[in-house]
A and B are shown apart, each in its own frame.
Chain A
Amino acid sequence: MKTDYLLLVLGMGIVTYLPRWVPLIFLSRSHLPEWLRQWLDFIPAAVLSALILPALVTTGEPRHLTIFQPALLVSIPTLIFAWKTRSLAGTVIIGMALFWVAGRFFS
């Protein structure tokens, strides 16, 4: 079990590290064509949205749609607050507070 576990952790580490490493090494020293720059420019917005939305509207394993949940409801005022104030600290605090309040009403 001990060597097995070491092998496991090492293997997991390598397959996790490579996708983090390869683009940094190769893309940072080559001249990127304009279309690729534009594409990469859209990636943060696309990735963040793809990370957030499923977490807010799906639950369970296997996943299924659960539109009406506090997390989604809270995300709307949180988003508006972020948009208006452009404050990361404020948004995190307001989001947490609203999530707490929503928990009182929903449970």
Chain B
Amino acid sequence: MWNHPYSSYLKEGMAAAWPICLGYAPIGLAFGVLAHNAGLAPWEIGLMSLFVYAGSAQFIAVSMIGSGSAVIPIILTTFTVNLRHLLMSSSLSVYLQRLGVGRLSLYAYGVTDESFALNMTRFRDGDWDWRRALALNQTANLAWIVSTIIGGYGGQFIPAGDGDTLRQGVPIDYALPAMFICLLVFQIRGGLYVLVAVLSGLLAVAFSLLLPDNTYIVMASVTAATLGVFLRKGCGKGREGAEES
């Protein structure tokens, strides 16, 4: 069985997921603790992690449940907070051409900030395909579900962060930021990319101070990427293919 090609896809995909799992563990535990404190049973916590599978939206939902919010506002907020995945799936679609609807539907379930960032980098490196990516997605998914349930059981024993601010000097809280920084560096393939990234970051900071939730992610990314296209058109004529490397 271990010589079957599928098992090597599986192993490579699972192995590549380690930084995500490392980062999800403390956040998942923290989520479980908060959800437990908001009155959710472990199975209810697991159900949300399984059905929704989106960290920040789940944190927000649980705090809204805790403050007695109705169902519809929570669902609307979840929609807003997770709209950013629209951009990520669009970007991923370039590498998932000619895949059947079933496989794409399965893949769509596992699109998160973290899996997007990692898979995108690997796809671009060229040593990656949808099977490995799917294995990575599902490994991260499993880590998330399990850690949130454990948090729900161990509620009273685990000191919880709020999943948003980094606890000072707690190394594991920096696992995902470090991963994102590294993957951002991998995305830079020229001056224009630096410009787009810097612009997007600064816009995101500005928007984040003005707008509620995390709509700033979509607004800043769309603005910066659009400017990038115009700038390339303006100054990059005859450099076609430069971005294909």
Would A27 and B93 be within 8 Å (CB), given that A16-B78, A42-B225, A92-B179 are in contact? Answer: yes
Q: How big is chain B's contact interface, by range?
A: 35 or more
Cβ-defined contact, A12 with B52, below 8 A: yes
Cβ-defined contact, A48 with B184, below 8 A: yes
Cβ-defined contact, A65 with B209, below 8 A: yes
Interface string of A56-94 (1 = CB under 8 A from B): 111110111100001100110011001100111101101
Interface string of B213-226 (1 = CB under 8 A from A): 00011001110111
B175 at the interface (CB under 8 A from A): yes
Cβ-defined contact, B168 with A96, below 8 A: no
Cβ-defined contact, B182 with A24, below 8 A: no
Which of A28, A37, A82, A100: most chain B Cβ within 10 A? A28
Cβ-defined contact, B171 with A50, below 8 A: no
A-B contact count (CB 8 A): 287
Cβ-defined contact, A28 with B200, below 8 A: no
Contact residues in A for B166 (Cβ distance below 8 Å): 55, 71, 99
Q: In the docked arrangement, what's the CA distance between A55 and B105, Å?
A: 31
Would A95 and B117 be within 8 Å (CB), given that A46-B221, A52-B180 are in contact? Answer: no
Would A82 and B181 be within 8 Å (CB), given that A23-B86, A103-B168, A103-B169 are in contact? Answer: yes
Cβ-defined contact, B221 with A47, below 8 A: yes
Cβ-defined contact, A88 with B19, below 8 A: yes
Residue pairs across A and B with Cβ atoms less than 8 A apart, 16 shown, are A9-B48, A11-B78, A15-B79, A16-B57, A19-B84, A23-B92, A25-B104, A39-B226, A42-B228, A44-B187, A46-B196, A46-B221, A47-B84, A47-B91, A54-B204, A88-B19
Interface residues of B (CB under 8 A from A): 19, 22, 40, 44, 47-48, 51-54, 57, 61, 65, 71, 74-76, 78-79, 82-94, 96-99, 101, 104-105, 107-109, 111, 113, 116-117, 120-121, 165-166, 168-175, 177-188, 192-193, 196-205, 208-209, 212, 216-217, 220-222, 224-226, 228-229, 232-233, 243
